[in-house]
Amino acid sequence: MKTLREHIKNAEERKKGIGHFNTANIEGIWAIFNAALAVSEEAGEQIPVVIGTSEGERKHFGAKQMVDLVKGLRREYQYPIFINADHSYSVETATDAINVGYDMVIIDLAEKSYEENLAATKAVVEHRDAVSSQALIEAELGFIGGGSNIKEEIPEGVSEATMTNPEEAKQFVAETGLDLLAPAVGNIHGMIKAGNPELHPDRITAVREQGGIPLVLHGGSGVSDADFVKAIQAGISMIHVSTELRKIYREALEKTLAENDTISPYKYVKPAQKAMQQKVAERIRLFWGL
């Protein structure tokens, strides 16, 4: 079976995007996995998918337990499903994720100084190499805002001036040795009620060319379909979606609880799981160009 690195290389060469979807519960895992299986059957090929778990999501579910579950699905179904330790805000939490077997780990010190971000990223890469892990290491560069929530307006500080500088990206990659870069190119974590700003494909292309490594788009919730397509064509190889799925799951769950008096969890979470699965399938189709 191909490694995640190989799948990312294949996606980039074919101008396709790998879907990265966050969850903190078993219903979310099955929603994401079943969506990937269904779309893969339609497409006639296995489409890779990544399950993301933030620090909070890892604490809720259990980091090692989540790794074991996802890798168990990969072995049982011989399917390219991978797991990422999303947004690790310290070297310690990032290295802990490497140690329990995550396929991919993000060290996120983008809101710190460039020097702090660089030093932490380099330390995580060095730890990965020291323990002979195959985990891909990703870092953020530029300002994307924080929090997978629904915001009233665009966060202060998000502007063209705080986007990732291509030359800085080149230096950052060279000095850290990381595998993937999450740039700021007009994207914002979470969703904006009034609508997210447009992405900047030209900046994506410039960062990809100068950085020399695959790019990951964070803040996929709220981005228009047209912008997704442009971003993938410009050089994005993986796209994160979280807030959108949380919103869909909660709304479906609230509706079921309001209309049904069952006390069996597996019954009242099922509609929420199906609603989430439907949205994940839509996103996979779009990202893969189907």
Structure confidence at residue 221 (pLDDT): 83
Q: Which of the four CATH numbers 3.20.20.70, 3.30.450.20, 3.30.56.10, 3.90.1150.10 does domain 4-287 have?
A: 3.20.20.70
181: helix, strand or coil: strand
Which residues lie below 8 Å from residue 120, measured CB to CB, with a gap of 6+?
Answer: 90, 91, 94, 107, 109, 112
pTM of the model: 0.94
Q: What is the mean pLDDT of the chain?
A: 93
Q: Give the number of other Cβ atoms within 10 Å of residue 147's Cβ.
A: 12
**What number is the average pLDDT over the span 109-128?**
96
Strands (E), 70-224: 81-88, 104-107, 136-141, 150-151, 180-183, 191-192, 215-217
pLDDT tens per residue across span 180-235: 999 999 877 666 666 667 899 999 999 999 999 999 999 888 889 999 999 999 99
- Taking only the tens place, the pLDDT of each residue in 144-165 is 766 666 655 565 556 677 789 9
Question: Among the residues of 44-165, which ranges form H helices?
Answer: 55-61, 63-77, 91-99, 114-130
Phi, psi for 75 (deg, rounded to 5): -70, -45
pLDDT at 18: 98
Check pLDDT > 80 for residue 258: yes
* Residues designated as active site: 86
- Each residue of 37-91: pLDDT tens digit? 999 999 999 999 999 999 999 999 999 999 999 999 999 999 999 999 999 999 9
Structure token digits, residue 242: 């979280």
Q: What's the pLDDT at 155?
A: 59
Question: Which sequence spans correspond to the domains of the chain?
Answer: 4-287
Phi, psi of 188 (to 5 degrees): -140, 135
118 band by pLDDT with thresholds 50, 70 and 90: very high
Q: How many CB atoms lie within 10 A of CB 283?
A: 26
Mean pLDDT, residues 32-40 taken together: 98
| pLDDT, position 193 | 60
